[in-house]
Structure 1
Amino acid sequence: MKGEVHSHFEESVRPYIDLIDNLRSVGIQKDVPLPHIAVIGDQSSGKSSVLEAISGVALPRGSGIVTRCPLELRLKKVTVGVSWKAVLSYGDKKTEFVDSSLVGNYIEAAQNELAGKGVGICDELITLEVMSPDVCDVTLIDLPGIARVPVKGQPEDIGIQIKSLITKFIQMPETINMVVVPCNTDIATTEALKMAQEVDPEGKRTIAILTKPDLIDKGTERNILDIVHNKVIPLRKGYIMVKCRGQQQINENISLEEAAQMERDFFQNHDHFRCLLSEEKATVKYLASKLTQHLVDHIKKSLPQLNEQIKKQQCDLRNELKECEAGPPQDPKGAKKFLIEILTSFNDQIKSLSLGELIIKRNLFLQLRAKYKEWNDHLNDTKKTFNDLTEEKIAHKEEYRGRELPGFSNYKIFEDVLQKHVATLQKPAIDLLDTIKGIIIEQFTDVVNQCFQKYPVLLDITMDKIYNLQSNQQEKAEQRISEQFEMENMVYTQDPIHLNALNKITTEEMFLDTKDTFSEEQFPVFERKCTYSEMLQAYYEIVVQRMADQLPMMISLFMLKQTAHLLSTDMFSLLDGADVSELLSETSDVSIRRRDLQARLDRLRIAQEKVSHFI
């Protein structure tokens, strides 16, 4: 009858645990969190002893940090064909062995390889699968013990590193947190329980294991019982007390079977704790049974949500893969058609950018206007220096006097003052051209990256075209700017324009009697009424207005509009005799990403098939 009960229990439990183990084996935990039991405890809490008693294998022991990588213990109860067998795996490595005494050495070697020799930690998972008739069906993940003070060789932030690693596991709703706490410490100050409470404040998914009951002070037994009976810090999954082998018993070669009997004897003979046996709140045997049941219940509860998460991940990955698969066809005709399509799309975007209709990162025309405004502000600032220079020149007019009689104007002075001052604007104009070139190249580069990011050969060729075109256009623009300044040496404007400028700068005090302004019929009058300085200033105002508009229009024409047109034409020349397959060769990153997406999709498909059988 007992065998039938166990067989029924195993049939109802094992499939669910196998399901999660199989899902973890295919790597599905990289995509969605899986239900599991995470074991945490302060250093020297007895965590290793508890796991050793449950698994029946001697795990690494010692002072300081013993568990330096997360250790997944998959325990499988087998009744036929195997007396004891284990498989240790991490990364791409897998080792099978049948000698339980080798477990500790294998785990330590794996930790040294992953976390380095010494006292460092690593979040890479080591899996130990144990098959034996003497273990229960359960999977546990052992996490590093919480360190408070770093020891020799440990980084100063080792405590923070360990807590971060533990939090990564215990914060997920799919995790049952198994907290190991010594009976001879104040449970309220235990760091492990505090961490569990932070991520599970209502205690819904936390179970506490009280160890070392033989080390408590006499008279504190009632306090310990209050804790076990959920009267101090309530936990939905409760408390279980265990007494595992101590170091002395290990030294005396007391087996786990003997230790289990000694544990039962301890509770049966204890004046205060014997009641815990009948309440099923004591011994490793009861603990193993409870953990199995808690895990299976948790798995059953999590399966619908897990199934939905897998479906959502599948949908997202299919969309990502679809984008990745939008690559070039393999046949030459289809590849050329594809190349024409992406070149056309690129040219359309370049045209839209040049017209101000496309904004990728920053608005191109906002940037250009800001730089052109700075140019206009600079021109306006030069008016003052020009006015000051003009007054100085006029003050020394006698030095520039020619054959004219006193009272007559020397037009050569007028030209000389204007030409020299306008010439100082040429370098800032070239600097403006360089700045605009940089902005436009940056914007063109953004379009190139957006259109050809997958195709490095095509991307490089296009960027070379852009740089070459911009260099050629810059030379043309510089030539036109130079010609513009040569034209300014001619000192010319329409008479009405100059008169209008004079009217704007002439003070009203000069015309108090008539309030008149100058007209073309008054040429002889304004020479007598206007100072030489005012006529120079009026003309320079016209120069500033011309430069403020003509230079930006000229630069935009050559560097943006013409470059966009030339680039669009030049891009289609790639179709003439080019190796289309080379132009459309993809980056290795795209290929790797496509393979990664497909691999993730494949394991999600396997997982979805497995989970759907249980829902």
Structure 2
Amino acid sequence: MLSRSLNLILQSLPSPLHILQQSSSPSTMTNPRSKPNKNEATNKKADPDIQNLSIKNESTLEKTDAGEITFTDTASDLGGGEITRLFNIIDQLRECGVAEDISLPQLVVVGDQSSGKSSLLEALTGIPFPVAATLCTRFATQINFRRAQHSSVQVVVLPSKDATGNIRAKKASKTYPKMTGLIFEKILAEASVEMGLPQPGETTENILPSTARFSDDVLKIDISGPDQPLFSVVDVPGLFQTATIHQTEDDIAIVEQLVTRYIKNPRTIIMAVASSLNDIANQKVIQLAKEADPKGSRTVGILTKPDAVQHGDESRVIEVAQNKVARLTHGWFVVRNRSPDEVRRGITADQRIINERFFFQKDPWNALEKSQVGCESLKTFLRKLLLSHIRKEYPLIVKELDNLYQRCRDDIKELGPPRETPEQQRKLLLEISNKFHMVTRDALMGNYQLSALEFKQLRLRTVIYDLRDKFVQEICSHGHLYFLDTKKDTEIRKIHDWICETYLKCRGPELPGLVNHTVMRILFQLQTEGWSKIAESLIESVKDLVDSFTQQLLAQTCGDPELRMNIWNLLDAEMEMANERAKEELQQILTDERGDILITHEVNFNSSVEESRKKRYISDLSGNKDESLDVSSRASLNAPKMVEEPLFDLFNRSFRTQEEQAILEIFDYLRSYYLIARSRFIDNVAIQVVERHFLGTGGSARSFSPKLVGELTDEQLQDVAGEDFGVVQQRRGLATRLERLEKAKKIARAGYGI
């Protein structure tokens, strides 16, 4: 865009202008000032970028002995080489839409309505812009001049970056054979319709309140031809401060905001057009330009309508032009365009150039430096300024594009893989579940990674062993009613009394001295009442551990918090079912162990009972007879005469009544069976409950498996892995932006030969 600007500055005018240019300087364009003065020094000082500019191969800026800056053009048509390449790159960057992401160098013409902005644009571009206030444009117009073999005019409306959906898509372009006043009016009218705006000149009375009156869309006009120079300029709607039948009070703020967005671009060169008829302090354009460019380094002041200034007021305008009133780095220019009367009289563009030149040769305007007056001087200056501006900003643009591209990639990566379709959703869940499955497998086998050492929950098998050890300790210490291996006489008496009491309560039709078969079952059930609570506590602990493990592992394998929560919600139901199955399994084990039938095939059971008997007999014979039994039927025996006293005394030590013997036998059987059943119960809980329902295949710790993902329906996939519509839109926007930035990056870096 800017590329085309520089070329038009010297070459956009018709052949009569070229004759004037040749008469001024055949090969070197030099400021026609004869000697330096105070004003000249001011203007030179205000243009540091241009003074240091040097263009390789194509053209060179040089200083004369008098300190003047000259532009030596070694390729008068600028159709090739480095300059054209740079300008074309900027134009290509704008065409690929990257101006939405970064600031690109551009030339923007701004001014109040009736400031002469349209006449200036006509002089710069040769296009007959509407000059009547009633025909003000309601959108920005970007005009590009292209060098091509055949002449044509291509027009397209570029939607604003805030547009969405189908509106966001680039509109189809229209082509015209050439540009005329009537065609330009038709283009503006059709663009207004396409943007949904009122027609130029339409009054507010005929506009519905809901109808937009200004648009952020851009009308792009490409004018191509063999004699067209490279040039680009953006025209924005004119500023105004009073409502009329064509524009409302609300429109004042809308236009001001639109203009401000353009001129706040740090790479925009502001052509601030001000009327010589009004004090510049009262013109809105100067205020906005100062706010957008406080140092005035990007602003070029342009005073119009000097020929309409009242006699005696010329000094006021001249002081502004000499950069004494509102100082700008690049100073001020004064131009004389066709007046409305001259337009009506048919004064041509060629004649306008001649009239302007003669006007500034008259007093008092001839006091101004020739480099400050006339459209030709303005074009020459803009050409130098734009060239300097592009060369200075180009490396920064390349760097900024690289940074934005990387940032956009990071933003897309942060969103995670796309998951709009069931296939994408299943693929993502399979990837996560595979990672989850492998880490779980290692955790259950004790194959820990370094990260597992930092999180106790991830050392699943280790913590399970700790819980099982605690469970065994609890069962052995508090799982019984009585500690059957006690050596304390008081405890032994309590146990025997408990057995005796139960034995007496359970008498049935059996013969005296025999034991009812229900006694052992009841005693065992009473002895093991504590197992259930301890085992249930183990199940809760294991469940909490597996839940914590799953959540911690999901945090490592799934970076999206929302997706992670959805996966957890899916697994939570599966894990709760596994927990319920574990509880049911425990109750079944307890029922089996504490049921009506006591069963053991433990080979050591009988030997354990016999060992207890032997120990008791030995104790009795050694004089340590257990006197803890208190049975009412107990009797003492006198030694028969035929039995020797020592032998009978030995017999009497070991003698028990039937009831005493039954109680001791019950104790021996109960103790041996309890120890066997306890070990069996501990193992069954560990294997059939913990391993089967929590850790084993199908257990809750392995619930997030590829198998589970493979069985999910499309509806379930959407519920779990489906993206929020806002995220989908964000991803699509980032993908579009990344594609745009990648294309722009290639274009820009190609300019560096990278």
- Please tell me the TM-score bracket, short chain as reference: 0.5 to 0.7
In the alignment, the residues of structure 2 paired with residue 155 and residue 466 of structure 1 have an alpha-carbon distance, to the nearest angstrom, of 61
- Cα deviation, 1:133-170, whole Å, max 9, x if unaligned, reads 77654322111111212334645322221111111111
Conserved 8 A contact 1:123-1:165: yes
- Aligned residue number for residue 230 of structure 1: 323
8 Å contact from structure 2 (residues 434, 706) kept in 1 = no
Is structure 2 residue 707 aligned with structure 1 residue 575?
yes
Tell me the distance in 2 between the aligned counterparts of 1:604 and 1:284. 34
Q: 2:385 aligns with which of 271, 285, 294?
A: 294
Q: Establish whether residue 309 from structure 1 lines up as the match of residue 406 from structure 2.
A: no
Do structure 1's residue 30 and structure 2's residue 100 form an aligned pair? Answer: yes
Give 2:152's aligned residue.
85
Deviation, 1:122, is 1.2
CA offsets 1:470-490 (integer angstroms, 9 cap, x no match): 99x9xxxxxxxxxxxxxxxxx
Distance 2:319 2:439 in 1: 74
Answer yes or no: is 1:279 the counterpart of 2:370: yes
Find the counterpart in structure 2 of residue 245 from structure 1.
338
Closer/same/farther in 2, CA of residues 337 and 42 from structure 1, 3 Å limit: closer
Q: Counterpart in 2 of 1:318? A: 409
Return the offset for 1:211. Answer: 0.6
Cα distance, 1:196 vs. partner? 0.7
Relative to structure 1, the CA distance from residue 266 to residue 464 in structure 2 (aligned partners, 3 Å threshold; closer, same or farther) is same
1 or 2, which has the higher helix percentage?
Answer: 1
Contact in 2 for aligned 1:39/1:142 (Cα 8 Å): yes
Q: Deviations over 1:26-46 (max 9, x none)?
A: 112122111111111011111
Distance 1:137 1:220, change over 3 A: farther
Deviations for 1:441-488, whole angstroms, at most 9, x for unmatched residues?
xxx9xx99x9696998x98786577699999x9xxxxxxxxxxxxxxx
Change (3 A) 1:256 1:170: same
Q: In the alignment, what sits opposite 1:198?
A: 291
Structure 1 position 52, deviation (Å)? 1.0
Give the TM-score taking structure 1 as reference length: 0.60
Q: Is 2:401–2:741's contact at 8 Å kept on the other side of the alignment?
A: no
Classify the secondary structure of the residue corresponding to 2:249: coil
Of the structure 1 ranges 189-198 and 461-470, higher mean CA displacement relative to structure 2 is found in 461-470
Equivalent position of 1:105 in the other structure? 186
Which of 100, 121, 125 does residue 51 from structure 1 map onto? 121
C-alpha separation in 1, matches of 2:218 and 2:366: 39
How far, CA to CA, are the matches of 1:344 and 1:146 in structure 2?
67
C-alpha separation in 2, matches of 1:73 and 1:289: 19
Cα distance per residue 1:39-85 (max 9 Å; x no partner): 11011111111011110011234324612111112234x4x844x53
- Secondary structure at 1:274 match in 2: helix
Equivalent-residue separation in structure 2 for 1:24 and 1:189 (angstroms): 35
Which residue of the partner structure matches residue 560 of structure 1?
A: none
Amino acid at match of 1:72: Q
TM-score for both structures, normalised by structure 2: 0.50
Q: Give yes or no for contact 2:405–2:742 (8 Å, CA) kept in 1.
A: no
**Structure 2 letter corresponding to 1:107:** L
Identity of aligned residues (%): 23
User: How many residue pairs are counted as aligned between the two chains?
Assistant: 439
Q: Give unmatched runs, 5+ long, in structure 1.
A: 356-443, 474-565
Provide the C-alpha distance between the structure 1 equivalents of 2:427 and 2:228, rounded to a whole number of angstroms.
Answer: 64
Larger mean CA deviation between 4-13 and 237-246 belongs to 4-13
Give the deviation of 1:287 after TM superposition: 1.6
The question of whether the paired residues in 2 share the 8 Å contact of 1:144 and 1:166 is answered with yes
Distance 2:133 2:93 in 1: 35
SS at match of 1:202: coil
Contact 1:67-1:144 within 8 A present in 2 as well: yes
Correspondence for 1:72: 142
Residue 194 of structure 1: how far off its partner (Å): 0.9
Is 1:606 the counterpart of 2:697? The answer is no
Given that residues 437 and 702 in structure 2 are in contact (C-alpha distance below 8 angstroms), is that contact kept between their aligned partners in structure 1? Answer: no
Q: Which structure 2 segments of 5+ residues have no match? A: 1-21, 29-72, 159-169, 200-211, 444-453, 458-550, 580-697
**Counterpart Cα distance in 2 of 1:26 and 1:287:** 30
What does residue 96 of structure 1 align with?
A: 175
> Could you say if the C-alpha distance between residues 135 and 262 of structure 1 is closer, same or farther in structure 2, counting changes exceeding 3 Å?
farther
Query: Shift of residue 293 of structure 1?
Result: 1.7
- Counterparts in 2 of 1:345 and 1:204: CA distance versus 1, 3 Å: farther
- d(CA) in 2 for partners of 1:111 and 1:598? 31
2:204 pairs with 1:123: no
The match for 1:480 is: none
Contact 2:236 2:259 in 1 (8 A): yes
For 2:145 and 2:711, locate their aligned partners in 1 and report how far apart those are by CA, in whole Å.
Answer: 59
Cα separation, 2, equivalents of 1:185 and 1:40: 16
Contact 1:53 1:256 in 2 (8 A): yes
Matches for 1:331-480 after TM superposition, within 5 Å:
336-341=430-435
Distance in 2 between residues matched to 1:590 and 1:235, nearest whole Å: 43
CA distance in 2, matches of 1:465, 1:205: 61
Aligned residue number for residue 18 of structure 1: 88
